Chains A and B, each alone.
Chain A
Amino acid sequence: MVHAVNDVSFELRAGEFLGVVGESGSGKSVTMMSLLKLIPMPPGHIDAGVADFGEHDLLSIDAATLRSVRGGQIGFIFQDPMTSLNPVLTIGKQLTEPVMLHTGADRRAAKARVIELLDLVGIPDAEQRFKNYPHELSGGMRQRVMIAMALACEPKVIIADEPTTALDVTIQAQIIDLVKDLREKLNTAVIWITHDLGVVAGLADRVIVMYGGRIVEQSPVAELYARPAHPYTQGLLNSVPRIDQKGGSLTSIPGQPPSLLAEPVGCSFAPRCAYAFDRCLTETPVLSPVDLAGEHLSACFWDTAEGKERS
């Protein structure tokens, strides 16, 4: 059995931009997908947990209510727009249907709304593009269509799973620019899942770092990059080169990401951690505050700044 996500707790505030950083297999996508039961079940199953969204617990509500939440109040942007758009339907058709379904608008009103949305996400000649099939659009344009789709019903929350990973860097810059712009206009809360520490640095209000299916650190963005508390976050920041400075040799994190097959015992980062001591192998550290305000949390027994065990 793969223990993809273990005891993850977090909150998203209204209008907040939350960055979720982790490597492949860290559980970042599965966490967010499980919130809306978007993981295939079986084989997957959610053992325990609560996901409060307004007055609902998303993990226990009935299928019909869940459907109205999905796409209606929580929008999704997936990584690969080519596989998440239907290749045999025009983008107009794919966009009008959810608008009609969730808002009850008639076809004509829905079409007007969709063209307005395509315009909003910066697609030129929206009227013409309405009739195009996904293959007729470039990767960047397809991702814009996905964003339009996520915004269609004015959701309170948008979950974006690696939305720019498949894009070239100049197109990524266009999409990030668009997302910043839209946030100012619409004030939607965003959960942005990524493996790129650079992307969330300029976007997020708060950042969650995941490793081995757990949250290892959680902090306001400036604090996280200035004073990373968890050895994994520190290692990650030291192992990426920066375009704005020439550094010496890169400090890599030794070893391999953990296998999630075994029931996790102790800290999953311990085998790769330079600070690990016997307690790390037997006891699982819980997220606890490392600053006075209680906003910056880390799941580690060792205080790397003080060089001693945390009390």
Chain B
Amino acid sequence: MTETINAPLGAPNGESASSPILEVTNLKKYFPIVRGLVRRKVGDVRAVDGVSFQIQKGETLGLVGESGCGKSTTGRVILQLDRATEGSVKYEGEELVGKNAGQMRVLRPNMQMVFQDPHASLNPRMTVASIIEEPLIEHRFGNRAERLAWIEELLGLVGLSPTHANRYPHEFSGGQRQRIGIARAIALNPKFVVCDEPIAALDVSIQAQVVNLLERLQDELDLTYLFISHDLSMVRHLADRVAVMYLGRMVELAPVEALYESPQHPYTQALHSAVPVPNPIVEFGRERIILKGDIPSPSNPPSGCSFHTRCPVATPECAERVPEWREINPGHWVACHLA
């Protein structure tokens, strides 16, 4: 087991660069709405409503959208933390949907998650060492001495010191806690990590520290990220490709430069223009697209294109027909009748 400790650090990063590590096809996740004494099902919350995408080995796919758009649910369903209603998730060609807990357990070391809230995702009664050791014990990693040595190395990797190992989570600041969460996520040498809003709960000056750490670890450990975030500026900085979700569906997916320089979907354009720029001169000259109204409820999404109720350029057709997901430029996918 000890060889695996150093294996990822020198992992080759060659010909495999273009094969998909993850393939998601028509993924759906509905949560039932139940009512009354007999808990009769009266409808569905369509949290994820048919999304398809691939993630290439070694890349960072940014997944952006506003609250309730289904981006976190997508991440959880990919890792089978929530059961998919329909669709397929293939990890290195292997179908994950329908696997039972035991079958998933074998694959878990390959795919891990960094959670949003570093206060809620670390057990306050466990020391840092035992938090990071738990997955190692679970997956029978070495003996105790080997585990402790690896934990020390991990703490160093994420920018903490080995002396932190015997402290409790409450002794750390938010940024340091997120580092502990990252150390736990990479403890089993995963290839694929879902980062679910890992910086949303952190202070501005700490966010850059954690993002730089994630980028460094990606280089050193050859990781693939699904980076879920509502922070479009940070995703531009971090991602290779970006997917935009609205009400459970994907509206646009493109390489990062294309998505930010020439967004095709009206929602992406509005989202883009709504993000303030920390520069008064730029801000002064900016045209803002202000969307009308609020995000509709995913339990009763609008007909046709679900964005048509707020879309500044919607036509009558948009209310009737669901736009198809098509590739308008190589690698640039969009779901809009008008694009």
Segment at the B interface, from A113-121, A164-172, A274-282:
A164-172
Q: Are A242 and B204 in touch, CB under 8 angstroms?
A: no
Cβ–Cβ < 8 Å partners of B284 in chain A: 202
Cβ–Cβ < 8 Å partners of B205 in chain A: 23, 235-236, 239, 252-253, 257
Of chain A, the residue at the smallest CB distance from B215 is: A249
Q: How far is the CB of B117 from chain A (nearest CB, A)?
A: 14
Q: Are A201 and B276 in touch, CB under 8 angstroms?
A: yes
Q: Are A251 and B208 in touch, CB under 8 angstroms?
A: yes
Cβ–Cβ < 8 Å partners of B288 in chain A: 173, 177
Q: Are A246 and B274 in touch, CB under 8 angstroms?
A: no
Q: Are A225 and B279 in touch, CB under 8 angstroms?
A: yes
Q: Are B280 and A246 in touch, CB under 8 angstroms?
A: no
Q: How far is the CB of B90 from chain A (nearest CB, A)?
A: 31
Cβ–Cβ < 8 Å partners of B234 in chain A: 241
B80 within 8 A of A: no
Knowing A173-B288, A201-B279, the reply to whether A243 touches B232 (Cβ < 8 A) is yes
Q: Are B290 and A177 in touch, CB under 8 angstroms?
A: yes
Q: Are A243 and B281 in touch, CB under 8 angstroms?
A: no
Q: How far is the CB of B198 from chain A (nearest CB, A)?
A: 14
A23 and B272 alpha carbons, distance in the complex (Å): 24
A39 within 8 A of B: no
Q: Are A252 and B280 in touch, CB under 8 angstroms?
A: no
A256 and B210 alpha carbons, distance in the complex (Å): 12
Q: Are A202 and B280 in touch, CB under 8 angstroms?
A: yes
Cβ–Cβ < 8 Å partners of B232 in chain A: 169, 243
B175 within 8 A of A: yes
Knowing A168-B66, A252-B209, the reply to whether A201 touches B280 (Cβ < 8 A) is yes
Residues in A151-174 with C-beta less than 8 Å from chain B: 168-174
Q: Are B275 and A239 in touch, CB under 8 angstroms?
A: no
Q: Are B233 and A169 in touch, CB under 8 angstroms?
A: no
Q: Interface code B249-283, partner A: CB below 8 Å = 1, 0 otherwise? A: 00000001100100000000011111111111111
Q: Are B212 and A241 in touch, CB under 8 angstroms?
A: no
A210 and B63 alpha carbons, distance in the complex (Å): 33
A246 and B239 alpha carbons, distance in the complex (Å): 11
Q: Are B290 and A240 in touch, CB under 8 angstroms?
A: no
A201 and B31 alpha carbons, distance in the complex (Å): 41
A197 within 8 A of B: yes
Q: Are A170 and B274 in touch, CB under 8 angstroms?
A: yes
Q: Are B236 and A198 in touch, CB under 8 angstroms?
A: no
A208 within 8 A of B: no
Q: Are A197 and B237 in touch, CB under 8 angstroms?
A: no
Q: Are B278 and A242 in touch, CB under 8 angstroms?
A: yes
Cβ–Cβ < 8 Å partners of B270 in chain A: 170
Cβ–Cβ < 8 Å partners of A243 in chain B: 232-233, 236, 260, 272, 275, 277
Of chain A, the residue at the smallest CB distance from B278 is: A197
Across the A-B interface, how many residue pairs have beta carbons closer than 8 Å? 131
A242 and B67 alpha carbons, distance in the complex (Å): 21
State which of B175, B272, B274, B295 has its C-beta within 8 Å of the C-beta of A172. Answer: B274
A23 and B207 alpha carbons, distance in the complex (Å): 11
Residues in B183-197 with C-beta less than 8 Å from chain A: none
Q: Are B230 and A249 in touch, CB under 8 angstroms?
A: no
Q: Are B237 and A174 in touch, CB under 8 angstroms?
A: no
Q: Are A169 and B236 in touch, CB under 8 angstroms?
A: no
Q: Are B67 and A174 in touch, CB under 8 angstroms?
A: no
Q: Interface code A242-262, partner B: CB below 8 Å = 1, 0 otherwise? A: 111011011111101100000
Interface size on A, residues (CB 8 A): 44
Cβ–Cβ < 8 Å partners of A138 in chain B: 294-295
Q: Are A241 and B173 in touch, CB under 8 angstroms?
A: no
Q: Are A168 and B230 in touch, CB under 8 angstroms?
A: yes
Q: Are A244 and B282 in touch, CB under 8 angstroms?
A: yes
A127 within 8 A of B: no
Q: How far is the CB of B232 from chain A (nearest CB, A)?
A: 5
Q: Are A237 and B278 in touch, CB under 8 angstroms?
A: yes
Q: Which of the listed residues A138, A170, A249, A254 has the most CB atoms from chain B within 10 Å of its own CB?
A: A170
B54 within 8 A of A: no
Q: How far is the CB of A48 from chain B (nearest CB, A)?
A: 29
State which of B66, B204, B233, B291 has its C-beta within 8 Å of the C-beta of A23. Answer: B204
A170 and B203 alpha carbons, distance in the complex (Å): 22
Cβ–Cβ < 8 Å partners of A221 in chain B: 280
A195 within 8 A of B: yes
A222 within 8 A of B: yes
Cβ–Cβ < 8 Å partners of A257 in chain B: 173, 203, 205-206
A174 and B310 alpha carbons, distance in the complex (Å): 13
Residues in B202-245 with C-beta less than 8 Å from chain A: 203-209, 211-212, 215, 230, 232-234, 236-237
Residues in A125-158 with C-beta less than 8 Å from chain B: 138, 140-141
Q: Are B294 and A171 in touch, CB under 8 angstroms?
A: yes
B52 within 8 A of A: no
A225 and B276 alpha carbons, distance in the complex (Å): 14
A23 and B205 alpha carbons, distance in the complex (Å): 8
Q: Are B237 and A247 in touch, CB under 8 angstroms?
A: yes
Cβ–Cβ < 8 Å partners of B277 in chain A: 198, 201-202, 242-244
Of chain A, the residue at the smallest CB distance from B64 is: A169
Cβ–Cβ < 8 Å partners of B260 in chain A: 243, 246
Q: Are B230 and A169 in touch, CB under 8 angstroms?
A: yes
A196 within 8 A of B: yes
B176 within 8 A of A: yes
Cβ–Cβ < 8 Å partners of B290 in chain A: 173-174, 177
Spell out A's residues near B (CB within 8 Å). Answer: 23-24, 138, 140-141, 168-174, 176-177, 195-199, 201-202, 221-222, 225-226, 235-237, 239-244, 246-247, 249-254, 256-257
Known pairs A173-B290, A241-B233, A256-B206; list 17 more (Cβ under 8 Å).
A23-B205, A169-B230, A169-B274, A174-B290, A176-B276, A198-B283, A199-B276, A201-B282, A202-B276, A225-B279, A236-B205, A239-B204, A239-B207, A242-B277, A242-B278, A250-B208, A252-B206
